[in-house]
Copies of this chain bind each other. A is one copy, B any other.
Amino acid sequence: MIDHSADRAVFRQLADLLRRQIESGDLAPGDILPSELRLAEDHKLSRTTVRQAIGQLRSEGLVTVDRPRGTFVRVPEPVELIPLTTGARVSARMPTASERRRHRLRDGVPVLVVTAPDGAATSYPADRVQLTRP
């Protein structure tokens, strides 16, 4: 599976492989991934490289780490619908440190930012909120 002579970096190849398993449902939401050491042994890689791959998946929001229990495929959160008021503008970005704390956001989860006509901005956790235009 992993091709050291390939153009694509080894850690990206491992991330691709795990991502495919997640997207295909082979690794379902809530499932635990093999441990870093296990992945390193199975694919003949260093743990450093395995961690790079997992870090990639974390930044994509596909897995969450519950230390030291293991790394798990993210389970979708229940979504709250919030109606947009007239004149509102919607953007999205990665959260600031304080937003991460306030919303208890995990890696790879953006915030939705709603700016009212008067300039007041409110941010929402993008994994638990959808905005609606009624």
Contacts and interface: CB of A to CB of B under 8 A. Distances in A.
Contacts of A89: 81, 130-133
A37 B105 CA distance: 32
Number of chain copies forming the complex: 2
Interface residues of A, number: 36
Interface stretch (A25-33, A64-72, A91-99): A91-99
B86 A133 contact: yes
A50 interface: no
B94 A131 contact: no
A73 to B, nearest CB: 15
B94 A92 contact: no
A59 B85 CA distance: 31
B90 A110 contact: no
A84 interface: yes
Interface in A85-117: 85-97, 107-112
A61 B100 CA distance: 14
B90 A130 contact: yes
A112 B91 contact: yes
B131 A93 contact: no
A133 B87 contact: yes
Q: Which 3 A-B pairs have the closest CB atoms?
A: A92-B92, A110-B110, A92-B126
